[in-house]
């Protein structure tokens, strides 16, 4: 058998140059694709959507029919949401004409540097029937006492394994909330003590809804997941990796006479980017 003769040296050089050209072309495409992705993800992080949901409940008192509840969570002020943007957010929230505003936690970034400045802005939110909120894991990492003090100064009533009644004439509803799940001791039973037949139940982490349920809790609100923040064209990566991490991951769920809303939230963590998980403010209108 005769051995195959090696290619001439000039052919080898040409093929080598062609391989390098292909590699450089693919690198160029990859860099362009990454630039487009980052550019869009940065744009989406500031592209807030308003989601309106009508909640029909036979236990809604007549006095509360048509009342507007604005739910907002995961602002992460100071990290994925600069303090400089808070003024525009407050204006946007006030333009929604809320009767009640409920916060789902993670108001600030975990370093706590901007806690006072952020809550000073939140004090400007108008809600004639009150502002209520729970704590998130970042709020505790930022300093639990400092966060609670700043909440009080901003006129936000802390829901911490307890509830408050809201009264209009002869009608009453309850807003209830629990402690944070990562560092705290959430107690839904204690939070619902003495609750009225229509109760708005709030916790930061939606996984707690799987552990505790109550027939009087007709509207359940949570955040924490950011809707995935960086998703596979709308599918959270947690669904791809371990599908059952959260039963309630994002969006609206209607089941057993109750409505569960898990908001995408406003801010971001780690990187100020979002991909097919737009920042979100939820407006809920009560109807009979």
Residue in 83, 100, 91 with CA at minimum distance from that of residue 164: 100
Q: What is the CA radius of gyration of the chain?
A: 24
Give pLDDT, residue 132: 98
Give pLDDT, residue 241: 47
Residues 6+ apart with CB under 8 A from 225: 206, 236, 238, 246, 249, 250, 262, 264, 265
Reading the block at residue 139, the tokens are 């709020």
The burial class, CB within 10 Å (0-12 / 13-18 / 19+), for 90 is: middle
CA dihedral 205, 209, 215, 216 (to 10 degrees): 0
Q: How many CA atoms lie within 13 A of 263 on its CB side?
A: 34
Distance (Å, whole) CA 203 – CA 105: 8
Distance (Å, whole) CA 165 – CA 175: 6
pLDDT digits (tens, 9 = 90+) for 163-185: 999 999 999 999 999 999 999 99
Distance of alpha carbon 49 from the chain centroid: 12
Reading the block at residue 57, the tokens are 């409940």
Give pLDDT, residue 4: 57
Give pLDDT, residue 248: 86
Residues 6+ apart with CB under 8 A from 131: 100, 101, 102, 103, 125, 154, 155, 156, 157
pLDDT digits (tens, 9 = 90+) for 81-120: 899 999 999 999 999 999 999 999 999 988 888 999 999 9
Distance (Å, whole) CA 71 – CA 263: 8
Q: Which residues of the chain have pLDDT under 70?
A: 1-18, 238-246
Give pLDDT, residue 15: 54
Would the pTM count as exceeding 0.75?
Answer: yes
Give pLDDT, residue 183: 93
């Amino acid at each position: 058998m005769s051995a195959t003769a090696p290619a001439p040296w000039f052919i080898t050089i040409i093929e080598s140059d062609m391989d390098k050209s292909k590699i450089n072309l693919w690198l160029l495409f990859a860099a362009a694709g990454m630039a487009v992705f980052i550019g869009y993800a940065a744009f989406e992080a500031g592209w807030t959507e308003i989601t309106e949901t009508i909640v029909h409940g036979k236990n809604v008192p007549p006095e509360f029919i048509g009342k507007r509840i604005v739910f907002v969570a995961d602002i992460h002020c100071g990290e994925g949401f600069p303090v400089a943007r808070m003024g525009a957010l407050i204006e946007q929230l006030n333009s929604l004409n809320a009767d009640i505003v409920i916060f789902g936690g993670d108001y600030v970034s975990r370093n706590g540097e901007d806690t006072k400045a952020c809550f000073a802005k939140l004090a400007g939110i108008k809600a004639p029937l009150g502002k209520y909120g729970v704590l998130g894991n970042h709020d505790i990492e930022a300093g639990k006492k400092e966060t609670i003090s700043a909440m009080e100064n901003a006129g936000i009533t802390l829901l911490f394994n307890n509830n408050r009644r809201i009264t209009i004439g002869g009608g009453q509803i309850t807003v209830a909330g629990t402690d944070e799940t990562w560092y705290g001791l959430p107690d839904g039973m204690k939070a619902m003590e003495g609750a009225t037949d229509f109760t708005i139940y709030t916790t930061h982490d939606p996984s707690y809804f799987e552990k505790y349920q109550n027939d009087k809790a007709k509207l359940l609100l949570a955040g924490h997941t950011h809707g995935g923040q960086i998703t596979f064209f709308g599918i959270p990566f947690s669904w791809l990796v371990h599908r059952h991490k959260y039963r309630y991951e994002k969006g609206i769920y209607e089941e057993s006479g109750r409505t569960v809303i898990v908001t995408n939230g406003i801010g971001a963590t780690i990187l100020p980017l979002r991909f097919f998980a737009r920042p979100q403010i939820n407006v809920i209108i009560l109807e009979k």
